[in-house]
Structures are given as C-alpha cells and as structure tokens.
Copies of this chain bind each other. A is one copy, B any other.
Amino acid sequence: MQHVDVITLGAGGGAYPAAFRLARAGRRVVMVDPKGVMSGNCLAEGCVPSKAVREVAELYRTAQRFERFGLSGEIGADFAGVVAHKDRVQRTRYTQHAAELARLAERLTLVQGVARLQDAYTVVVESEHGEESYRAEHIIIASGSDVFVPPIPGAELCVTSHDLYALDSSFKSLPRRLVVIGGGYIGLETATFLRAFGAEVTVLEMMDQILPGMDPDFVAGLAPLLDPAIRRVTGAKVETIENAADGTLTVRYAVGDKNETGDKTETVAADAVLMAAGRHAVVPEGAEAIGLELQRGRVVADTALRTNLPGLYACGDVNGRVPLFHAAVGQSLIASRNILGGDQALDYFDFGAVPTTIFTLPMAAYVGHTRAALKARGIEALETAYNFAEDSRAQIFDETQGEIRLFFEPGTLRLLGGWIIGIDAGQLVGEIGLAVSKGLTAHDLAAFCDQHPMASEGISKAARALF
C-alpha cells in the first residue's frame, strides 16, 4: 500500500493538468492509465491525429483550385504519406508530454495499469506486475470514454476511430468506398476527409439529422457546404454488416419510407466501414460498489467537479457533461484547485461556454446557447448574422458560403451564444466563446475593432447591426 496525496484515474486531459498543478504545489501524485502514456483519447486517436489528416485534406482540396489563384500544377495525394504525417505529429507530442512529465518526476508518477476503486480512498492497480494498492486523500476520476460499438451483427468487421487515428495505425490505404455508421461529428469529419482524398462516402445516421443533438438550424446551415458527393442517409437503422469473399462489405439498413407505413431495407457496399455510433464513458471498476453516483453510465459531477463522495472528483468525458478535450482540461484545473482548497471549492466550472468545432471540410463551430436551446428556455434572443459572401477574406479564398450568427439576450444584450459556419470557424469561435464565457454584450463586441481583412470582422459587424 502506497500513500500519496492524489491519484488520478487516467492520464489524459481530465487528469494531467490537475496532476501537474498539484505536483507543482508539492503534492505527491500518481496517475494510473492503461495506456501507460500521458494522453487521453485526444492525442491517442482523437482530435490531434484527425486534425493532422484534416489539414492535409484541406490543403489537397485547395490545391485543386490553384489555377484560380494563379498557381498551377497537378497535385497527388498519397494516403500512406498522410498517415505518416499524422504519426509524426503524434510522436512529437508524445515525446513532448514525456519531457513535461519527467520535469515533475520527483512528485508525479505515471503508472501503467487498470485502476479499480476499492473504497473512497483506495485504488487498486492491476498491471503486468500484479496488483498494487494506493491510498490517497483525493481521487480524480478521469478515465475518459471509449468507442461505443452497438450490438449489430458484423460490427466486428468495422474499423473505429481507433483504427484510423491511433499511432502507427495500419489503416494506410484509402478505401475506394467508405461507409460511416453514425453522422455525429467524428463520423462526419472523417467522411469529409476521406472524401477529399477521393473516396466514395456514405454516412448512415440513425436519427433524423446528421450531427444529432446539435441545433437543427446550425446543422441545416452546414449541410449544404459539405461535399454534395457525400451521400447522407438519416433515419437509417443499420441491421447487419456482411463481408463477401472479395473483401467487399455490405451494410444493410432500414430506413423509413415516407409514403408507406413501414420501413424499407437498403444496402450499401463498402471497402471499409467506420463505426462511429458514439462514445460511452469508461467508469472505473468498483465505482458502484463504493457508492459513487452514476447517471446514464456516467459519473455525476457538479460544477466544482465533486462527485457525491467527499474527496472524489470526476473530470472530462467520464462525467459526460461536455466530452471535449479542452473542457476536460478546464475541469481538471478546477478540480485541482478544489483539492488544494481542502475539498472546499475554490473555483467552479462553467459547462455552458465551451466551444465546439465540427472539423469537417469546411468547418463549423458553436458556443453557448443557440436558437433551439434558447427557444426551449423561452428566450426570444436578438439574432444578428454576418454572411461570408460579403467577407474580404472569404472572397480572397473563394470560400464565401456560410455565416457568423450571434444570439443576444434582450435587454442586457449579453451574448448567449453564437455559431460560425464556414471559413475560419475554429478560430472565430475563440473570440465569440470568450465573449460568451464573460457575458460580454453586443455593445462590447461592437466597440471592438476586429482586424481587417480577417473573417473576425464579421463578429463586430454582426454586433453593430443591432445599433
């Protein structure tokens, strides 16, 4: 039995920021992670590698329009080369993380293994060296999430984001025909990347819109900007995946027929099928036994990241509130502060102002509360928009589809939310998100002179439309 101050279950975005801060404060900290490296899914198989692929896909797409800009040349894409680029980025970051960890080695240890909660103070780690117990005053559960594979016959024939994006992945050749099961952001992003490289892509989404759960009007704004060659089927319930001798996969799905009462069944052939039906929280073993409150398979955490058990915190995907890397990091830091405060909160996390970017080609992003959520709360927001058709930068790149849209609270003119569809969405959501986070007003946005000629001009321009 080792005694430490703090244990984190996981070593990703929900864990290491807290671990680092606590170690810097002199606490002895142990991070436990089955992967044995510092990184959550984000680096392992999520945001970082997928964006490495994405940016190449975007360059490749742009290159196809080079003539328009006075450039010339035939551009080819070598998918294995793209994957090698991705691997290089991942390797760089792993090395960097290892160096960061080493600098705090005196007080911070990373243990490879699977953690089990024995009681509210004790964690048992099972590794290749056997079992070891750790006793800590505080535990941060940041065990993340994993790909959810629904119980569909043939599901084992599918690849997942893990297969595509993990370091040294074997998925090195572009499938001619890709079927994506799940039209959430992971599936949809990948669909646009592989489509950019030339694959024929079909996206099957069970719900009645792609990007289910997101504001319907936001989705409706993005959908026409995506490559129309990506076939999208909504309301598609996948029934089986079968493989033929020649390696061809056949995905069979039921889809509602609007003219008839029953569903009809369709099939689509593929060389690869990506299972992107969602993710589920990875709740550590023992959680229920020690009385940790769970809800829909997630650990319940409040705005101070406290669970129902004193001294236990839950950060990141495992609490399911905002399953994004940067949200996990923010939560982790708050948890570290509250641990420093002796389990008496020193700070609280605002789950409502975390930006979400859909890294499709082109991108879209939103933050705060937008039209649908506001209507549901009975708020008739003041809405203003800026159309990229009038934007200098968009015109320069000839990417003039899309908009910036802002939602203000009547009376206070506080910015409640906003979305960007199209150019620079992932960048613009920073300025808009900070404004939502701080409750800045249309006056504030209007008074600031956004840089010309950048797409951010649209933010002040939209705000100024109210006056």
- Which chain A residues have a beta carbon within 8 Å of chain B's beta carbons? 13, 24-27, 42, 47-48, 51-52, 55-56, 59-60, 62-63, 66-85, 89, 92-93, 96, 302-303, 324-327, 329-330, 333, 337, 340-355, 357, 365, 377, 390, 392-393, 395-397, 410-414, 424, 426-431, 433-435, 437-440, 443-457, 459-460, 464, 466-467
Contacts and interface: CB of A to CB of B under 8 A. Distances in A.
B73 A329 contact: no
A66 B55 CA distance: 12
A47 B327 CA distance: 37
A74 B73 contact: yes
Contact of A428 (B60, B390, B429, B430): B430
A451 B357 contact: yes
Contact of A56 (B42, B70, B447): B70
Contacts of A435: 434
Contacts of A93: 392, 395
Contacts of A424: 427
Contacts of A353: 412, 448-449
Main secondary structure of the interface of A (DSSP, over half): helix
B342 A51 contact: no
Contacts of A74: 73-74
Contact of A80 (B24, B63, B70, B430): B70
Contacts of A52: 396
Given A59-B66, A434-B440, A451 B355 contact: yes
A395 B89 contact: yes
A139 to B, nearest CB: 16
B78 A71 contact: yes
Given A76-B72, A427-B454, A411 B56 contact: no
Closest 5 pairs between A and B when the two form their complex, measured CB to CB: A25-B342, A70-B81, A70-B82, A430-B456, A73-B75
A69 B85 contact: yes
A74 B75 CA distance: 7
Contact of A76 (B73, B453, B459): B73
Given A69-B59, A326-B457, A346 B355 contact: no
